[in-house]
Structure 1
Amino acid sequence: MEKLSLEEDGVAIVLVASDANLRQAVQQLEQCDELALDLEFDQNRYTYGFNLCLIQIADGKGKCFIIDPFYIDDLTPFFQLMENPAITKIIHHSNNDILLLDKMGCSVKGIVDTDVAAKILNYERSSLATVLKEEFGKEIDKSQQSSNWNKRPLTEDQLRYAAIDVIYLHKVKSKLLQEIEKAGRMHWLEEEDYLLEQLKYTESENPHLRLKHSYRLNYYQQYLLKWLYTFRENLAQQFNKPAHFVIPNEALVELANNPNTDVHEWLNHTRGIHGNLKKPKNERMLQDALHEAKEAAKANHISHDYPEHRFQRPLRTPETERRKELLTAVQQEIMARYGEYASKLIINQSLITDYSQNGKLRCNKKYGSDIVLEVARDLGIAIHVSTAPQQTSE
């Protein structure tokens, strides 16, 4: 295994940069009951797409393995380690890590999320830096947080930063879970971690309609925007640049809004256009894409009518207002009992609005639903529960 004469707070930092070294590292890590995990990735910040740049795993016994996927052909041994439910994976704010690994075909099991644990304990700010400072009085350097993890070779500062994100997680987990056990909220964490394990990476069905002001376009313009969006994605992938670096979002919507504009003039007078797009070959490709979009819209008889506004304000009636007031009273009592920030895991404005509109409590968390109903009973408030729980945003 490649030798690296680095250590951080008594923990040896071991760089893993080959398939053989990965297999050796995994053989050692398989002997552990608990592993601390973090990923560094690029999500349309410096390069195109959502890409893994680095893997950090601490064994809690004095070693931190920094796995460099840029030099490894087969990550299967690492994936198998992550999918082993017998080994606990301690992760701080695991959502994006889980989604990226799922995108790559790996379903992580045995998760304990220390960010969620901190929220359960009513932390106002639950970042790892905050938790380490409040629980252990330790300050950590976050200057490399926005580092470009695509660049090689990695600097010593980057390697130390990457290691710091995991080498304290065993202690953090032990301390927080001890407090959660005392508070009688362990079943909260178990259910939250289970829900995290169910996360799946999905692509948006109509990502072009998520662009700002796209809802202002008529059906014809939105149809053109979809073609232009696909053109931009293909070019961004070719350039290996974030799509908005090729054509800014607002510029793409502007072109769909004014499709008869002179493309050459538009390219040379629009801010933020990538230089490669202005090359004659790529300019012609853009012109062709716009022409094809217009022809397809014509052939498919796409209307120039405007769609109804996608956002509809919630219906307000005496009954919806009454339901809102009742559940808001329950929310206030939950905040008083469990804390302002912990209560956000249980009940939020989205849940209240949904209940006011439908008259049924649709909560995807059993412990959350149980607490809402218990508090409601204590307040003498009747809450109706849906027989088909619905995922609610937190």
Structure 2
Amino acid sequence: MEFTTLTNNRITIELVSTPEGLAQAVADLSNYKELALDLEFDQNRFTYGFNLCLVQITAGNGRCYIIDPFEIENLRLLFTLFEDQTITKIIHHSNNDILLLDKMGCRIRNVMDTDVAAKILNYERSSLATVLKEEFGIEIDKSQQSSNWNKRPLTEQQLHYAALDVVYLHQVKTKLVAEIERVGRLNWLQEEDILLENLRYTESENPHLRLRNASRLTYYSQFILKALYQFREALGMEMNKPAPFIIPNDALVELASEPNVDIHEWLNHTKGIHGRLKRSSYEKKLMSVLEQAKKDAAANNISFDYPVNQFRRPFRTAETEKRKEDLTTIQADVVKNFGEFAGRLVINQSLINDYSYTGQLRCTKLYATQIIFDTADRLDINLPPPVIVPQQNQE
């Protein structure tokens, strides 16, 4: 790197790119009880996969450490700091950060999410830029928001932008939490933050079926699609490029639906195919994958029938409509009392639809369940006992 320390607007930005520098930063940060942090990552935008590019972290004392994981092989010291239950980690919109850390083997603890805090206070737009402008009159430059964080060396503009994502978070947290306490919703924030901490990264069991129109293919074509998808993923990893950059999703589904096409013609007349795939060696690999998939499909007697749409909703009945009407009435009252955007944390359309069709009120939040049932009692609406379920893992 061309520099290690920058000073801007009375903020010292220290770039950490060695194991020794990381040890010093962690030793310093361990002395504080509240840390603000953010991650810059790439999720199949410029490179293959879901990868950490930068970590920004500050104790709110005018110094911001920016840690370059590309230069430091072992981040366990940093992860131990994140896992320390005695230190509050202030993050704005932490979902993806938590999932990435979990993917890397770090179970972050004691998270305080300022994005959730803003939603609890009924912010229509809860981005950090919006909160800073509305609460503090601070406007931040977002010109680097779409920056490629994989590139090295990092520019001064990138480092300044990265630092701005954390240097104001202590102020934001103090202001928003004070207002949440004033309106009596601190238990909302505490429970929402615990739910976030418990997010776990999981790989989809059948990611090929999540491609657009894949569910409309026959069982046979879906079988072929799975083989093609795995081939494309391997190429993405090999080339370190997002897999859809190599073969677009719609082209992959199209090929699975018509696996007997002339591959040479298909490669050279399909929009968006990566140039390397048109080379003779890769063309032969693709042909081999297709032929093997067709042989395996025949050997396993894969049907040419279309699958029954598993996402088809049950038929509406008087009973399902009554349940929907009841929860919609409760939702309207919740929105009236707490506001539209805070109300979505308590009761959303997904919960209403699920209750309407199943008759089960499956809740993941205790505070929201209490509000729903208190509202139902006040409106004289009968609800069944709630089914408390853990929040689902996310990818």
TM-score range, shorter chain: over 0.9
Is the CA contact 1:320–1:357 (under 8 Å) kept in the aligned structure 2? Answer: yes
* Residue of structure 1 in register with 2:236 after alignment: 236
* Residue of structure 2 in register with 1:366 after alignment: 366
Structure 2 spans left out of the alignment, 5+ residues:
none
Runs of 4+ in 1 over 4 A off after TM superposition: none
Deviation for aligned residue 1:250:
0.3
* Residue of structure 2 in register with 1:297 after alignment: 297
AA aligned opposite 2:163: A
Structure with the greater relative contact order (CA < 8 A, sep ≥ 6): 1 or 2?
A: 2
AA aligned opposite 2:226: K
* Residue of structure 2 in register with 1:105 after alignment: 105
Secondary structure of 2:55's counterpart equals: strand
Deviation for aligned residue 1:388:
4.2
Give 1:178-327 correspondences, 5 Å limit: 178-327=178-327
Deviation for aligned residue 1:393:
11
Is the CA contact 1:362–1:390 (under 8 Å) kept in the aligned structure 2? Answer: no
Is the CA contact 1:2–1:16 (under 8 Å) kept in the aligned structure 2? Answer: no
* Residue of structure 2 in register with 1:147 after alignment: 147
Deviation for aligned residue 1:357:
1.6
Deviation for aligned residue 1:387:
3.8
1:212-239, Cα deviation, whole Å (9 max, x unpaired): 0111110000000000000000011000
Distance 1:294 1:271 in 2: 24
Matched, 1:348 2:327: no
Secondary structure of 1:319's counterpart equals: helix
Secondary structure of 1:55's counterpart equals: strand
Identity of aligned residues (%): 61
Distance 1:111 1:66 in 2: 19
Deviation for aligned residue 1:355:
1.2
1:32-60, Cα deviation, whole Å (9 max, x unpaired): 10000000000000000000000000111
Deviation for aligned residue 1:152:
0.2
AA aligned opposite 2:195: L
Distance 1:220 1:263 in 2: 19
AA aligned opposite 2:121: L
* Residue of structure 2 in register with 1:62 after alignment: 62
Distance 1:58 1:9 in 2: 15
Check 1:324–1:62 CA distance in 2 against 1; reply closer, same or farther (3 A cut): same
Check 1:3–1:153 CA distance in 2 against 1; reply closer, same or farther (3 A cut): closer
Distance 1:387 1:351 in 2: 12
AA aligned opposite 1:137: G
* Residue of structure 1 in register with 2:42 after alignment: 42
Secondary structure of 1:272's counterpart equals: coil
AA aligned opposite 1:201: Y
Which range moved further: 2-11 or 339-348? 2-11
| RMSD of aligned residue pairs (Cα, Å) | 1.5
Is the CA contact 1:268–1:278 (under 8 Å) kept in the aligned structure 2? Answer: yes
Matched, 1:332 2:332: yes
Is the CA contact 2:57–2:64 (under 8 Å) kept in the aligned structure 1? Answer: yes
Which range moved further: 380-389 or 116-125? 380-389
AA aligned opposite 1:344: R
AA aligned opposite 2:279: K
Check 1:283–1:393 CA distance in 2 against 1; reply closer, same or farther (3 A cut): closer
Deviation for aligned residue 1:390:
5.6
Is the CA contact 1:211–1:249 (under 8 Å) kept in the aligned structure 2? Answer: yes
Secondary structure of 1:145's counterpart equals: coil
Is the CA contact 1:2–1:15 (under 8 Å) kept in the aligned structure 2? Answer: no
Is the CA contact 1:351–1:392 (under 8 Å) kept in the aligned structure 2? Answer: no
Secondary structure of 1:70's counterpart equals: coil
Matched, 1:386 2:386: yes
AA aligned opposite 1:228: L
Deviation for aligned residue 1:354:
1.1
AA aligned opposite 1:288: S
Deviation for aligned residue 1:315:
2.7
1:56-85, Cα deviation, whole Å (9 max, x unpaired): 001111110000001001101000000001
Secondary structure of 2:302's counterpart equals: coil
Is the CA contact 2:364–2:388 (under 8 Å) kept in the aligned structure 1? Answer: no
Structure 1 spans left out of the alignment, 5+ residues:
none
Distance 1:61 1:305 in 2: 64
AA aligned opposite 2:22: L
Is the CA contact 2:90–2:111 (under 8 Å) kept in the aligned structure 1? Answer: yes
Distance 1:392 1:65 in 2: 33
Matched, 1:33 2:43: no
Distance 2:55 2:304 in 1: 49
Distance 2:206 2:252 in 1: 15
Secondary structure of 1:77's counterpart equals: helix
Is the CA contact 1:350–1:393 (under 8 Å) kept in the aligned structure 2? Answer: no
